[in-house]
Structures are given as structure tokens and as C-alpha cells.
């Protein structure tokens, strides 16, 4: 039986690399994202052959794309209803919250909008998806969420939202452990070749981030995909309730 895998935010960057890794292993993979054209084209690319696209659902041989905003409870419920069983859930959807306070917003209202955007996009998105899929997680399965190095330092409302996610995942690990399901957060450092920085990364900033690492290189989406794949493997069944840092040494835990 191929494994059943759901990757939220699977249309770009880290999530896409995770989907590719499991597809290479012969898994049945569902990817999600908010932008319909991307969901359709990426599911086609990854599914390779036999693709049938109907509206918002695009099915390839093993890769299915579903348009789903992970912050929308109704959309997440509809997504969850597609699964009778799920082996691997990867919450990769997220990013820097883009708050849009009105022109008359006070300073405090603008701050509130920024916090809510980050908490919605990075914390509540994963909380909703994980909660909706929890009942169908199979023994031997795993749930993962993508955190950030920013939770350890200078992360602002974005880093704080991912730190809260890690705290919630520690509780989830205790809840799911007796069912044979592991729960971990992977906290990447700087990962190049993603849409995360939306074109705002400068050469100077990038060189500074690379200089912080011991490996003297930027991370790439595949660094995270391989970590996800390991944590979902038989060899990682005793690893749960952890935040796993993947940052080339830019942040060390001791």
C-alpha cells in the first residue's frame, strides 16, 4: 500500500520539495495552496501523467492538488473529508503575514492586524489542519509542522506564532504518542529558492545569513524535505515532541 501524504503549502518552496520527496518514494500525495493556478500547474508537474483537472481539484497519477486556505475552517473540513486514513501530514503553509490595516488604522490597530495575520497564517493554519486530520492518522504515522529559526531570536510576531506552534505540538505529541503517531516541528534557518522573501532578499542580507552558518551555504528546500522524510520513516519512531533545527549551525541548541 502506498503511504498517504498531505502537504499544506505544497505548491512552492519547502512544501513542494517535501511533496516531490514522497512522490519519489511512491506515496499518494495531496498538496494544497490558495492560488488555484499554482495548485493546478504544480499538481500537473508533480503528477506527471494522466492528469485530469476539474475546477479546483487536479488529480495526477499520484499527486492531487486541492485549493484550500488553511486558515478557513470550512475549507479545511472539506479537505479532511477526502481522507479515510492519512500516514503523513506536513503543515508547510505559512510565511510572513501581510496585514492590510485600513488607511485610518491607529498604530495599535496596525500592530493588532500584523499579529493576527501572523497568528492566523502560521499558528492557526496548522492547528486547524492538524485538528481536522487527527482522527484519521494511522498508527506508525507522523504529523509535522514547519517552524522557524526566528522563534529563537528576533522573530517578532512571525517568530512568536511559530514558537506557539512548537508549544502546541509538544502537547500533541503526548496525545498522539499512545496511538503510535509522532509529532514534531522542523525549524529551518534561511532557505533559498522559496517564495518566502517575496523578492525582498538583498545580496548583503543573504551573505550575512550564510556567514552565520557553520556550513557556509544557504539551506535549500531539499534539506527540509529529507528531514521530513526521515522523521516519517521507521527509523524515527522514538523521535517525538521535538523541535528539530535545520539551519547549518546558524543557531545551536547549546
Q: How far apart (Å, rounded) are the C-alpha atoms in residues 196 and 94?
A: 9
List the interface residues with ligand NAP, window 81-140 (CB under 6 A): 92-95, 121, 125
Rule CB under 6 A: say whether 161 interacts with ligand NAP: no
Q: Interface with ligand NAP includes 148 (CB under 6 A)?
A: yes
Choose the stretch contacting ligand NAP; rule: CB under 6 A; options: 12-20, 21-29, 49-57, 136-144.
12-20
Nearer to ligand NAP, 128 or 136 (CB): 128
Q: Does 6 bind ligand NAP (CB under 6 A)?
A: no
- 146 binds ligand NAP, rule: CB under 6 A: yes
Residues in a beta bridge with 91: 8, 145
Q: How many residues bind ligand NAP (CB under 6 A)?
A: 29
| Helix ranges restricted to H, 177-243 | 203-212, 221-231
User: Is residue 241 close enough to count as binding ligand NAP by CB under 6 A?
Assistant: no
Residue 243 lies near ligand NAP (rule: CB under 6 A): no
Residue ranges in 194-213 that form contacts with ligand NAP under rule CB under 6 A: 194-196
Instruction: Sheet containing 86-91: give its strands across.
Output: 52-54, 57-59, 63-67, 28-33, 4-8, 86-91, 137-146, 182-188, 243-246
CB of 179 to ligand NAP, least distance (A): 25
Please choose, out of 22-30, 49-57, 65-73, 164-172, the segment that lies near ligand NAP by the rule CB under 6 A. Answer: 65-73
Q: Is residue 188 at the binding interface for ligand NAP, with CB under 6 A as the rule?
A: yes
Q: What angle do CA 212, 99, 119 make, to 5 degrees?
A: 70
Residue 239 has a CB neighbour count (10 Å cut-off) of 15
Q: Yes or no: say if 110 and 101 are a contact pair by the CB < 8 Å rule.
A: yes
Sole window of 51-59, 69-77, 98-106, 163-171 interacting with ligand NAP (rule: CB under 6 A): 69-77
Is residue 58 within 8 Å of residue 34, measured between CB atoms? no
The CA-based dihedral angle spanning residues 206, 161, 71, 146, taken in that order and rounded to the nearest 10 degrees? 60
C-alpha cell at 107: 498604530
Closer residue to ligand NAP in complex, CB, 36/140:
36
12 is a contact residue toward ligand NAP (CB under 6 A): yes
Contact 64, 30 (CB under 8 A): yes
Q: Is 156 left (phi over 0), alpha (psi -120 to 50) or beta?
A: left
Interacting residue ranges for ligand NAP, rule: CB under 6 A: 8-9, 11-15, 32-35, 38, 69-71, 92-95, 121, 125, 146, 148, 188, 190-191, 194-196
Amino acid at each position: 500500500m502506498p503511504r498517504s501524504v498531505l502537504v499544506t503549502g505544497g505548491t512552492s518552496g519547502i512544501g513542494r520539495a517535501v511533496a516531490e520527496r514522497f512522490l519519489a518514494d511512491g506515496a499518494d500525495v495531496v498538496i494544497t495552496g490558495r492560488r488555484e493556478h499554482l495548485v493546478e500547474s504544480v499538481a500537473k508537474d508533480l503528477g506527471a501523467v494522466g492528469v485530469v483537472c476539474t475546477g479546483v481539484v487536479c488529480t495526477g497519477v499520484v499527486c492531487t492538488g486541492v485549493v484550500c486556505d488553511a486558515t478557513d475552517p470550512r475549507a479545511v473540513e472539506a479537505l479532511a473529508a477526502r481522507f479515510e486514513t492519512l500516514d503523513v501530514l506536513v503543515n508547510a503553509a505559512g510565511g510572513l503575514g501581510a496585514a492590510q490595516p485600513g488607511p485610518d488604522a491607529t498604530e495599535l490597530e496596525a500592530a493588532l492586524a500584523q499579529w493576527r495575520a501572523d497568528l492566523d497564517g502560521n499558528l492557526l493554519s496548522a492547528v486547524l489542519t492538524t485538528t481536522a486530520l487527527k482522527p484519521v492518522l494511522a498508527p506508525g504515522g507522523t504529523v509535522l509542522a514547519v517552524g522557524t529559526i526566528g522563534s529563537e531570536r528576533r522573530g517578532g510576531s512571525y517568530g512568536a506564532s511559530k514558537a506557539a506552534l512548537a508549544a502546541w505540538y509538544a502537547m500533541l505529541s503526548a496525545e498522539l504518542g499512545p496511538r503510535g503517531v509522532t509529532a514534531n516541528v522542523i525549524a529551518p534557518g534561511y532557505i533559498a529558492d522559496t517564495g518566502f522573501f517575496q523578492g525582498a532578499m538583498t545580496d548583503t542580507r543573504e551573505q550575512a545569513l550564510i556567514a552565520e552558518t557553520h556550513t557556509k551555504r544557504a539551506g535549500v528546500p531539499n534539506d527540509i524535505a529529507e528531514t521530513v522524510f526521515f522523521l516519517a520513516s521507521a527509523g524515527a519512531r522514538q523521535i517525538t515532541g521535538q523541535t528539530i533545527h535545520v539551519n547549518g549551525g546558524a543557531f545551536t541548541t547549546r
